[in-house]
Amino acid sequence: MNNPIEALNKIFDSRIRLGVMSILIVNDSVSFNELKQLLELTDGNLASHLNTLEQAEYLKVQKAFIGKKTNTTYIITDLGKLSFKAHLDALEKMIKGI
Amino acid sequence: MKNKVLLNMGNQEEQLNALSDIRNMMDRSSRFISLSGLSGIFAGLTALIGAYIAHGELKKYIKGEYGYGVDADVEIEANLFKLGICVLLIAIAGGFLFTLRQSKKKNIRFWDKTAKNLLVNLAIPLAAGGFFIIFLLVNHPNSFGLIAPSCLLFYGLALINASKYTYSDIRFLGICEVILGLIAMFYIGYGLYFWAFGFGILHVFYGLIMYFKYERAK
């Protein structure tokens, strides 16, 4: 019997990164502040997790200006969608299998 | 062996928690979930009272108690129009208050992207319907009989359109309103009854379902 945990994605071990991906997969684009409010996090904490996801190329960052303020929004990539779905499938299999 | 079973059970619990987190985040970030069932009940009751008053006014009009010194047709039209606006404002204000209360209770922000999405998508078919009815009345005399069916039809379509941005239960309410509007086309002249049923009874009924499904238990 192969190990079902192997199919789980290490990047999604963190609840916060899992939360970010859950939000991005159902929204076209989400701003930093919206993510912060939904996940109830501090700036620094959220930023470091977003960085990990960006490095894995699971999300794209878009910087724009609203007046003089920067407005950073995040968009899920195709790779991000695929990985997140694979992770959900693995979770489902695990729960059904046990 | 026993340890392994325990480990698996702990793991399963953890994964189930993760799944419920994912679901919660998906809903909270894309759907407006502060909508209160009490809003529906309040709007429905307002509509029923409004329809009752309108019924009384129409009775007076038919008996000929209308139009001392003024054109009876113009006067009843103006009165019903004023009544309609009052009902609409009271229903919206009540709905707003109950929903505000609900968002405070759930400790989530009232005005965010989900609220905006819901309002915009509700407003598009609703505005189209509003203009349709106004232009109908202006350009086609004796088209009063079509007001109730058009109201129900456009309102139903607005709900179906908006249901993607709030509880999906709203979609079925929208379908009911559309069907009711189509049936009303066969009973021109009984519009007020269909209007009272669609905006009154269906709202109360749906408000109760939503209240018991999402609020009472939690």
Domain residues for B112? 51-216
B31 located within any domain? no
Q: Please report residues of B whose CB lies closer than 8 A to that of A98.
A: 8-9, 11-12
| Domain count along chain B | 1
Angle of CA points B123, B117, B156, to nearest 5°: 40
- Sequence letter at residue A95: I
pLDDT of B2 strictly over 60: no
B25 located within any domain? no
A98 located within any domain? no
Q: Which of B8, B26, B113 sits opposite A98 (nearest CB)?
A: B8
pLDDT of B177 strictly over 90: yes
A27–B25 C-beta distance less than 8 A: no
- Sequence letter at residue B29: S
Q: At what angle do helices A15-26 and A43-55 cross, to 10 degrees?
A: 70
B11 located within any domain? no
Chain A: give the shortest CA distance to residue B198, in Å. 32
Q: What is the pLDDT of residues A16-74, one digit of tens each?
A: 899 999 999 988 889 998 899 888 888 999 999 999 999 999 999 998 888 888 889 99
Q: Is B12 on the interface with A (CB under 8 A)?
A: yes
> Cα–Cα distance between B198 and A77 in angstroms, integer?
44
Does this complex have an ipTM over 0.90? no
Whether B59 contacts B33, CB under 8 Å: no
For residue A39, give the chain B residue with the closest CA.
Answer: B25
**Top-confidence residue, B78 or B53:** B53
Number of residues written out for chain A: 98
What pLDDT, on a 0 to 100 scale, did the predictor assign at position A92? 81
pLDDT of B1 strictly over 50: no
What pLDDT, on a 0 to 100 scale, did the predictor assign at position B110? 83
A97 located within any domain? no
* Strand boundaries in A1-98, DSSP class E: 30-31, 59-66, 69-76
What pLDDT, on a 0 to 100 scale, did the predictor assign at position B10? 63
Confidence of residue A8 (pLDDT cuts 50, 70, 90): confident
Mean pLDDT across chain A: 86
B14 located within any domain? no
Reduced to 3 states (helix: H, G, I; strand: E, B; else coil), residue B36 is coil
Domain residues for A52? 9-91
For the residues B156-176, what does the mean pLDDT come to?
A: 94
Q: Please report residues of A whose CB lies closer than 8 A to that of B22.
A: 18-19, 22, 88
What pLDDT, on a 0 to 100 scale, did the predictor assign at position A17? 92
Whether B165 contacts B121, CB under 8 Å: yes
Handedness of CA A56, A60, A64, A66 (dihedral sign): negative
Site from A22, A23, A34 to mutate, B interface, most B CB atoms within 10 angstroms: A22
What pLDDT, on a 0 to 100 scale, did the predictor assign at position A4? 59
- Sequence letter at residue B192: L
Chain A: give the shortest CA distance to residue B119, in Å. 17
| Domain count along chain A | 1
For the residues B9-21, what does the mean pLDDT come to?
A: 75
Q: Which of A15, A38, A88 sits opposite B29 (nearest CB)?
A: A38
Confidence of residue B3 (pLDDT cuts 50, 70, 90): low
Whether A59 contacts A74, CB under 8 Å: yes
The CATH code of the domain that includes A18 is 1.10.10.10
Q: What is the pLDDT of residues A62-96, one digit of tens each?
A: 988 888 888 899 999 999 999 998 888 888 887 77
What pLDDT, on a 0 to 100 scale, did the predictor assign at position B175? 97
Q: Is B26 on the interface with A (CB under 8 A)?
A: yes
